Amino acid sequence: MRDEIYRSVDAGSNNQDDAAPAASVAPFRFNETVAHVFHDMINRSVPGYSLMLELITLLAGRHAGQGARCYDLGCSLGASALAIAQGMKRHGNDKTARIVGLDNSAAMLTRCRQNVLRDAEAAAMIELLEADICEHRYEPSEFIVSNFTLQFVPPEKRPALLGRLYDSLQPGGAFFLAEKIRYDDSEVDRLMIEIHERFKRSRGYSELEIAAKRAALEAVLLPESSETHISRLKDAGFSQVTECFRCLNFSAFLAIR
Ligand SMILES: C[S@@+](CC[C@H](N)C(=O)[O-])C[C@H]1O[C@@H](n2cnc3c(N)ncnc32)[C@H](O)[C@@H]1O
Ligand SMILES: O=C(O)C(=O)C[C@]1(C(=O)O)C=C[C@@H](O)C=C1
C-alpha cells in the first residue's frame, strides 16, 4: 500500500521558507495508519534499506549457528526477522533456531504475524512479543539486530539498553545497528539532510509531504552522530566496533562482543 499519510496534511504551503510545516502536525506514531503503509514508507525513505536486509541475512549466516537465539528489536512488519531466518536457512540451522521479534506497537505486530505466517519455515523459527526493548529480559543470544529502532528510544535510555544487549550476547556474538545519524558539523548536517530530502523527492514524495513528515519526526526520532554511536558501543564493552555502511545521514554499525 502506497504511503500517502502526509499528502493531505497542511504543511504550511503559504510559507516562503522552503515549505516549513505548520505547528499542527501530530508527532509520528507507529499506529495502524503507519503500519498499513510502512513497507512502502521505509523503502522509499531510507537509502540502502534493502541492502541492510541483505547484510542482516549475511550476518545471520555468519553468527547464528546451530541452536542460536537471535533478537530483532523493533521488528515492525518482520522484514529483519525474516532476513535472519533466510540467513539461518541457508546454513541449515533452521530446525534449531529461535528468532525473537520485539515491538511495542500492537498494530505493527498484528501485521507482522500475518507476514511471518506466509512463510511456514520462517514461522516455525520466529516468536513475536509485544514488549519494550528497554525493559525486556534478554536470554543468552548470538545475534541481535536493531534496524532503525534505537533512534526512537530516548537517548538517556540508550546506554543501559546497550549494556543489556552486550550482557545477552555470547562471546563472539554480533550486534547489528542501523540508524539515521546527524553530523556535528551543522553545515554538513544540513547538506546531508537536503540530499536525503532530494532522495525522497526522487521517490515520489512531495515537498509538502517531506516537510510534514520532518515536523512529525522532530521530537520522536532523535539521531546521534556516528562518533557517539561508536563510543557508546565501545563503552558497553564491545571489543570490535565498525561502521560498516554509510549513505548520507544513514549508517550501520557492526559490534562484536
Ligand atoms: C523504523 S521501525 C523498524 C523497522 C524494522 N526493524 C525493519 O527492519 O523493517 C521502528 C520500530 O520500532 C518500534 N519501537 C520503537 N520504540 C520501541 C521500544 N521502546 N520497544 C519496542 N519497539 C519499539 C516501533 O513500534 C517500530 O515498529
Ligand atoms: O522519512 C524519514 O525522513 C526517515 O527518517 C525515515 C524513517 C526512519 O529512518 O526510520 C522514519 C520513520 C519511519 O520509521 C520510516 C523511515
Return the best residue to mutate from 32, 72, 76 for the ligand 1 pocket (most ligand atoms within 8 A of CB): 76
Q: Whose CA is nearest to atom 4 of ligand 2?
A: 45
Atom from ligand 2 closest to the CA of residue 28: 12
CA atoms within 13 A on the CB side of 67: 3
What value does the mean pLDDT take over residues 141-165? 98
The residue whose CA has the least distance to atom 1 of ligand 2 is 45
Tens digit of each residue's pLDDT (9 = 90 or more) over 63-116: 998 899 999 999 999 999 999 999 999 888 777 889 999 999 999 999 999 999
- Mean pLDDT across the chain, nearest whole number? 94
Q: What is the pLDDT of residue 8?
A: 83
Phi–psi pair at 30, nearest 5 degrees:
-85, 65
Which residue CA neighbors atom 15 of ligand 2 most closely?
42
pLDDT at 20: 58
What pLDDT sits at residue 12? Answer: 44
Residues in the ligand 2 pocket, defined by CB under 6 Å: 41-42, 45-46, 148, 180, 213, 217, 221
Query: Longest C-alpha distance within the chain, in Å?
Result: 59
Which of 4-13, 173-182, 201-210, 223-232 shows the lowest per-residue confidence on average (mean pLDDT)? 4-13
**Grid coordinates 561508536 are at which residue?**
230
Residue of 149, 157, 162 to mutate, ligand 1, most atoms within 8 A of C-beta: 149
pLDDT of residue 188 exceeding 50, the answer is yes
Q: ipTM strictly over 0.95? A: yes
Q: What is the model's pLDDT at position 90?
A: 87
Q: Domain 49-173+222-256 carries which CATH code?
A: 3.40.50.150
pLDDT of the residue at 254: 98
Q: Ligand 1 centroid to 77 CA: how many Å?
A: 9
Q: Of 38, 144, 37, 139, nearest to 81 (Cα)? A: 144
The neighbouring-strand residues paired with 130 are 103
pLDDT number for residue 95: 78
Its pTM stands at 0.95
User: Each residue of 8-50: pLDDT tens digit?
Assistant: 875 444 344 445 555 689 999 999 999 999 999 999 999 999 9
Instruction: Report pLDDT digits (tens) over 196-210.
Output: 999 999 999 999 999
Mean pLDDT of 150-165: 98
Please state the atom number of ligand 2 nearest to the C-alpha of residue 196.
3
The residue whose CA is least distant from atom 18 of ligand 1 is: 132
Residue 76 in marked binding region = yes
**For the segment 41-72, what is each residue's pLDDT rounded down to a tens digit?**
999 999 999 999 999 999 999 999 889 999 99
pLDDT at 138 over 90: yes
Question: Which ligand lies nearest the alpha carbon of 3?
Answer: 2
Using CA atoms, how far apart are residues 232 and 129, in angstroms rounded to an integer? Answer: 27
| 45 Cβ below 6 A of ligand 1 | no
CA distance 51 to 58: 11
Contact 149 CB / ligand 1 (< 6 Å): yes
Q: CA 107 to CA 207: how far, in whole Å?
A: 28
